[in-house]
């Protein structure tokens, strides 16, 4: 879903997962992602920015950013664990009964802006949220849920990559029920859509929110499976495309497409709204924005060009997991 742990809190349950175990897995996941991205880049390394909120009792996080690498122009992998006394408006619009409750949110957000236009932008998020009169470890909160997912935003579409991406998502969710991948794929297609442009942000993936229907143990296992699926699916795509020759025209199109990515995050993303409304750390919330971007007035791709094919063939919902790969662009 979003670039930050957030959004509208979900269903009721007396048996919440332990925050300590969720936190431990999230921190380990962050470390594994950073190690994989450093290996894929080859020379750049992540800087670590450990931070606390103005009131340390309300939490903090660890924002890690890799910049100006030969493969990744910018990569951010941020962990946060924050608390508050009252849920902000963005989190209670759909659940007014939870207005005024204390809350606790923790998660890892990943956003990758590659240097080569043929390597797609990628975003992933895994998070846990709970709200209630007491957010202590042994509490029975009024609401708890997991959320997250991952999506892919190519500038130049490759069917091989899109198929592998969606099959990784489908296979990760299969042990938890055959209905989940189609449901989460549809939710991803609908969420990552620029309503003011009338176009999808990318080729989607999976997205889930307010999820606790499998109980604490299985719902947490599903979250872990989604995170691990991203870690197994994205690096191979990077490896296939990072040495693809590209032109200045393709670089310009990449910066143009990054504009769409920025528009979604600033206009529609619920996590961005939650983070800012809850007094979150602006630098970490806006970590997802690309380092360079451009907007060209009323620009349209040349008919029949690779840029046009992205819009006609890729930026529309398709049954990618069910397709046979042609390994052709």
Question: Annotated binding site, which residues?
Answer: 109, 113, 123, 125-127, 166, 196, 279-281
- The CA distance from 312 to 111, in Å, is 25
| Binding residue positions for substrate | 109, 125-127, 279-281
Which structure tokens are listed for 105? 């949110």
- The CA distance from 327 to 47, in Å, is 36
Q: Is 123 considered catalytic here?
A: yes
Nearest to 67 by CA among 48, 81, 86: 48
Which structure tokens are listed for 52? 């606390």
- The CA distance from 2 to 91, in Å, is 13
Give the burial class of 48: count Cβ atoms within 10 A of its Cβ; 0-12 exposed, 13-18 middle, 19 or more buried: exposed
- The CA distance from 160 to 168, in Å, is 12
Catalytic residue among 81, 118, 123, 300: 123
- The CA distance from 108 to 218, in Å, is 19
| Binding residue positions for a divalent metal cation | 113, 123, 166, 196
- The CA distance from 295 to 304, in Å, is 22
| Residues catalogued as catalytic | 123
């Amino acid at each position: 879903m979003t670039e930050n742990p957030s959004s509208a809190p979900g269903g009721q349950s007396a048996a919440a997962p332990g925050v300590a175990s969720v936190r431990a897995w999230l921190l380990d996941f962050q470390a594994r992602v950073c190690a994989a991205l450093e290996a894929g880049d080859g020379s750049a390394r992540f800087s670590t920015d450990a931070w606390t909120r103005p009131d340390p009792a309300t939490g903090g996080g660890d924002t890690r950013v890799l910049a100006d690498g030969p493969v990744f122009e910018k990569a951010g992998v941020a962990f946060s664990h924050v608390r508050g006394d009252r849920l902000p408006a963005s989190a209670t619009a759909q659940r007014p009964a939870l207005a005024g409750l204390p809350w606790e949110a923790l998660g890892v957000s990943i956003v990758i802006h590659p240097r080569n236009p043929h390597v797609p932008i990628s975003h992933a998020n895994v998070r846990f949220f709970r709200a209630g009169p007491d957010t202590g470890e042994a509490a029975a909160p009024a609401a708890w849920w997991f959320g997250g997912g991952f999506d892919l935003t190519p500038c130049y579409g490759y069917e091989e990559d899109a198929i592998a991406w969606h099959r990784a998502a489908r296979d990760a969710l299969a042990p938890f029920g055959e209905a989940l991948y189609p449901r989460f794929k549809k939710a991803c297609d609908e969420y990552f859509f620029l309503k003011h442009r009338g176009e999808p942000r990318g080729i989607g993936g999976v997205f889930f929110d307010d999820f606790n229907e499998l109980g604490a143990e299985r719902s947490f296992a599903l979250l872990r499976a989604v995170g691990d699926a991203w870690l197994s699916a994205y690096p191979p795509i990077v490896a296939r495309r990072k040495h693809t020759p590209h032109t200045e025209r393709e670089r310009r199109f990449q910066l143009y497409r990054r504009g769409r990515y920025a528009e979604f995050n600033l206009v529609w993303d619920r996590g961005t709204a939650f983070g800012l409304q809850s007094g979150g750390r602006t630098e970490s919330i806006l970590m997802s924005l690309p380092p360079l971007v451009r907007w060209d007035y009323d620009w349209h791709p040349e008919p029949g060009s690779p840029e046009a094919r992205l819009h006609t063939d890729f930026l529309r919902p398709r049954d990618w997991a069910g397709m046979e790969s042609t390994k052709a662009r």
